[in-house]
Amino acid sequence: MTGADITPSPIEILPVDISAYREGNGPVDYVHIFDSGLPGSTVMVNALTHGNELCGAHALAHMFEGDIRPSAGRLILSFANVDAYHRFDADNPSASRFLDEDFNRVWSPAELDGSRQSRELTRARALRPVVAMADYLLDLHSMQCASPPLMLCGVAEKGRRLAMAVGCPRHIVADVGHTAGRRMRDYDAFADPASPKTALLAECGQHWADASRAVAIETTRRFLVAVGSIAIQDWPTDGLPSAPEATRLIEVTEAVTIVTSRFRFTNDFKGLETVESAGSVIAYDGRTPVRTPYDNCVLIMPSRRLLPGQTAVRLGRFVD
């Protein structure tokens, strides 16, 4: 899959106006903290980790418009990389993913406490105290390809349990992240199996598909119910799709990191394809073939950003 092979996805949703949410009551702009006044967990829902992933902004706007508030503990609603989001251009929709670097690769102490500067690092450092408040985090994302939605839960058992309790999206992916840098969902105690703090990352569908907006809203609703932030009757479904009856867990065994500038897939993979035979060639990195390591290998989120140092695809298998 090269640049010439990519068919642009139709743009079914556009950015929602979030200017009314700039002035919140958090320590930085576009952060709102609602306190129920009753004991309970601090729960955070984050949108716009990437500026071109619109569904999360729609989900948070839906919550503001519906006056959704916690019935226990505190609820934090956060818009992350808003400067990138405000640069969205329907004629070049991928360009607003970030300004200087990927906001979702800087969440390690080495980066956050280091001397290196970028606009994404500045925003991440400002949001860091907010993220640290959260007992539970849901980070809303979308994907390049029209793949079925996914819930990324990390490798700790606590993440799997919460993802299964949420039940939407159906497919749950247990993975360690990216070699290029740490994600927000892996920040600090979220990645510590001994800590009760738990984070999930929802990939709600293709970036500009209207279905991704609906999945983001339904996933957020179910997440807030699962962690005890709201009661199920506090947020009507509004005819949104219900979660599937059964979840499926995929354990990622390895990520394919791109080495050369001549990486190409052998097919137009979208995601969740199962390759039946071990040793099947799914890509070439320069002249080096990339083969499946075992039978029934599942391809997870094949990328269209085929650049050295980036993750091309994650390889996993279904777990009964």
Mean local confidence (pLDDT), 15-28 = 95
pTM for this predicted structure? 0.92
In order of 138, 226, 242, 252, the CA distances from 232 in angstroms are: 17, 9, 13, 32
The pLDDT value recorded for residue 241 is 55
Within this chain, do residues 24 and 148 fall inside the same structural domain, yes or no?
Answer: yes
Does residue 239 fall inside a structural domain? no
What tens digit of pLDDT does each residue of 270-295 get?
A: 999 999 999 999 999 999 999 999 99
The pLDDT value recorded for residue 26 is 85
What tens digit of pLDDT does each residue of 187-210 get?
A: 999 999 999 999 999 999 999 999
In the predicted model, is pLDDT for residue 318 greater than 80?
yes
Boundaries of domain holding 27? 3-234
Whether 283 contacts 290, CB under 8 Å: yes
Within this chain, do residues 208 and 94 fall inside the same structural domain, yes or no?
Answer: yes
Q: Report which of 145, 244, 136 is spatially closest to residue 190, judged by C-alpha positions.
A: 136
Within this chain, do residues 186 and 106 fall inside the same structural domain, yes or no?
Answer: yes
Within this chain, do residues 164 and 93 fall inside the same structural domain, yes or no?
Answer: yes
Does residue 242 fall inside a structural domain? no
Distance CA 66, CA 220 (A): 13
CA–chain centroid gap for 43, Å, is 16
Whether 188 contacts 211, CB under 8 Å: no
| Counted domains in the chain | 2
Last residue of a domain, one of 168, 202, 234: 234
The pLDDT value recorded for residue 160 is 96
Does residue 46 fall inside a structural domain? yes
Within this chain, do residues 258 and 285 fall inside the same structural domain, yes or no?
Answer: yes
The DSSP annotation for the chain comes to: --GGGPPPPP----PPP-GGGSS-SSSSTTEEEEE-SSS--EEEEEE-SSTT-THHHHHHHHHHHTT---SSSEEEEEE--HHHHTT--TTSGGGGS-SSS-GGGB-SHHHHTSS---HHHHHHHHHHHHHHH-SEEEEEEEESS-PPPEEE--SSHHHHHHHHHH--SSEEEE---BTTBB-GGGSGGGG-TTSS-EEEEEEEEETT-HHHHHHHHHHHHHHHHHTTSS-GGGS--TTPPPPPSS-EEEEEEEEEE--STTEEESS---S--EE-STT-EEEEETTEEEE-SSTTEEEE---S---TTSEEEEEEEEE-
Does residue 199 fall inside a structural domain? yes
The pLDDT value recorded for residue 52 is 96
Average pLDDT of the chain, as a whole number: 93
The pLDDT value recorded for residue 180 is 82
Within this chain, do residues 177 and 290 fall inside the same structural domain, yes or no?
Answer: no
What tens digit of pLDDT does each residue of 126-177 get?
A: 999 999 999 999 999 999 888 899 999 999 999 999 999 999 999 999 998 8
What tens digit of pLDDT does each residue of 104-128 get?
A: 999 999 999 999 999 999 999 999 9
Within this chain, do residues 150 and 57 fall inside the same structural domain, yes or no?
Answer: yes
Distance CA 136, CA 165 (A): 13
Mean local confidence (pLDDT), 260-266 = 97
Last residue of a domain, one of 201, 234, 267: 234
Within this chain, do residues 50 and 142 fall inside the same structural domain, yes or no?
Answer: yes
The pLDDT value recorded for residue 5 is 40
What tens digit of pLDDT does each residue of 240-249 get?
A: 555 556 899 9
User: How many alpha carbons lie under 13 Å from residue 76 in its C-beta half-sphere?
Assistant: 27
Does residue 157 fall inside a structural domain? yes
Q: Look up the CATH number of the domain holding residue 315.
A: 2.40.50.630
Distance CA 318, CA 138 (A): 23
More confident residue, 202 or 232: 202
Mean local confidence (pLDDT), 225-246 = 79
